[in-house]
Structure 1
């Protein structure tokens, strides 16, 4: 018999304090997929919390690079990160917090570069955004793919958290006033140079408010993943100055387009950016008995037009990727305006192009329409994940 007495180990597991909660299912978090859009001050707090919670798969999308002014408000960045993509720096920092979380950084603009396949992949989407146009796009993407999303916004000592799960609940567009729509329309009517200047203006924030709102957003993710009652169709306003915080309910707006059941989406593993649109149209016509149009996931700039001299220059890319040179007429030097397209008729000669040749991002979804029938095609060949992990997980309940 050994002379050494048996030693009882009192060492707790990494998530022991979570698992002590009666309803907690750590395995559900370990298998979860969360898409976070925005890696600024608010996104940093959300991402930090997701890593601490042990969420299994996280994708983070942001187009910006770390600046010195970010360091006072963003917990995941360091001085050595200055000039590097935020999404990549945030991913590295998350891995240092919890190596068990698989993080995918997506460096790009949500309006131009984020295919709808990413939304369908996720169980929950978190928005850490600072402009209405991006929120409108995220809202439409979540409605089309049947995913709940948690929106957050901060300014100085105030913040708001809102949850949306259309068509079951009110969505972001239901909360928008006529003033909101007028501001979006005013922004869209500006020249593209003016729009870019507006986009570069930052919102004044503090790390304390970001911590509060980001923590609440992560908490809503926990509740959604556990099937608990969550902040869907509702919001919570945080007043850090006077602590006169309050909750609110959002009714479904009768004119909002996102409250019909989402169209069926088929995962097409052989189709991707190199697939001719004609092939997709032919399959859509076969399945629907005809084809009125292929609807795109976002507006694209077909061409830039100069009103004074009539010069037109083909573009075929998202507005966010139109170069500075393309904004100026090569013939007369005047300002050009974009000609936008969001749908291709069934007989359009543009169907001879490929998906990427049209300017759409990888892993996107196209919608075929015939009469009242709509069918979505997820172009999954360019997904970064293996075929056996490609199919979306079961939707969570609101």
Structure 2
């Protein structure tokens, strides 16, 4: 990247006046670890702005920022990286641009995507640390399940009014986000979808009231936990830092792993293949899996996929291939009678399926995903790394940090 400055000079400093000299007064601090670290930031709103800003000031080398939304005027009072002229622009793109302004040595890339169904597992495997700055449970559940499948911890943040919480979930060794969800949480999550499990076109959620001061506190703790994880120090794993902004009573809570929680199983074996989701058909991938795992192998997907829509009154079934999350209620209305059609879903494909002739992208599999093949008790993940350059952009050419140990 042409804007990238000479990191060796910055890290070394001259006469103790280098950019990060004050950090290195901390005995255990290793700036080179941060310079080579990869951070995945999901959400570029109030929390995401503070997270990205802190990562830039700390000298984190590679950051992928994910968000679906555009900047509105109301974002300006809570988002340090946005300006009035940015209204209408993509949040993630502007956040990445401003991060590079703060620290030209940072490789910051944006990705316009919905965290629930647009993010493949490849970006989670790429990241050394995962930080969420989100405002809904559905997205948190999606991140939690993805992080668990690749065997990595993630750092969640939530704010409302003057209060907030930052917490670290590591499904490999303790409770995950879903372990903390109550029956009320699940009911509120279900309210985001219709009886047919389709996303509602209009959800009466309202806007979460927040302040920039609370987002600064919570995001600061999140990034501090990220620094600890990157240095191999003990973090708030399975715990949450709760901030009461009214009384300033801050405390740490511990969570318990829920017996029978399904979101704790990592994909132990993952192999990278060079094709993209648009290039590879489900049949070609299944053929490879059957050759490697045996003739009983089936393919399993990370998202619920839609095969067709069936109308009871009309008795007609219409093919519609997509990720379930990308289909709205209005898409399911029967064009003939106006009734709601039922979705026909699947999450696996076996030999003989008529879907095998379609590419993985046509089925609704997101770019740079990991598709799992299962034969009995054997499981093998296939990472579609052909999508990697498209997703990462300039970051694809930057090296991994040799000082950080891969967990997956």
TM-score by length of 2: 0.89
- 1:391, distance to aligned residue in structure 2 (A): 7.7
Kept in 2, the 8 Å contact 1:304–1:326? The answer is: no
Pairing partner for 2:38 from 3, 8, 33:
33
Contact 2:276 2:367 in 1 (8 A): no
In structure 2, do the counterparts of structure 1 residues 223 and 194 end up closer, same or farther at CA, with 3 Å as the change threshold?
closer
CA displacement 1:324-362 (0-9 Å, x = unmatched): 762321111223343322222233221111111111111
Q: Shift of residue 378 of structure 1?
A: 0.3
Contact persistence 2:310–2:317 (CA under 8 A): yes
Q: Find the aligned partners of 1:253 and 1:192 in 2 and give their Cα distance.
A: 25
Q: Which residue of 1 aligns with 2:290?
A: 285
Q: Map of 1:328-339 to 2, 5 A cutoff?
A: 328-339=333-344
- 2:86 corresponds to 1:81: yes
Tell me how large the CA RMSD over aligned residues is. Answer: 2.3
Unpaired segments of 5 or more residues in structure 2?
Answer: 1-13
Residue matched to 1:382: 387
The 3 A distance-change label for structure 1 pair 359 and 199 is: farther
- Is 2:250 aligned against 1:245? yes
Query: Cα gap change, 1:82/1:388 in structure 2, threshold over 3 Å: closer, same or farther?
Result: closer
| Aligned counterpart, 2:229 | 224
**What is the count of residue pairs matched by the alignment?**
389
C-alpha contact 1:267 1:391 (8 A) present in aligned 2: no
Larger mean Cα displacement after TM superposition, 175-184 or 53-62: 175-184
CA contact (8 A) 2:293 2:375 kept: yes
Select the residue among 235, 239, 242 that pairs with 1:234.
239
> What residue is the counterpart of 1:6 in the other structure?
none
Match of 1:101 among 83, 103, 106: 106
Asked whether the 8 Å contact 2:121–2:146 carries over to 1, the reply is yes
Structure 2 SS opposite 1:221: helix
Identify which range, 342-351 or 141-150, moves more after superposition: 342-351
Match of 1:3 in 2: none
Q: Give 1:350's match in structure 2, choosing from 342, 355, 371.
A: 355
Aligned to 1:4: none
Determine the C-alpha separation between the residues in 2 that align with 1:390 and 1:145. 20
User: What SS does structure 2 have at the residue aligned with 1:99?
Assistant: coil
Deviation at 1:172, TM superposition (A): 0.8
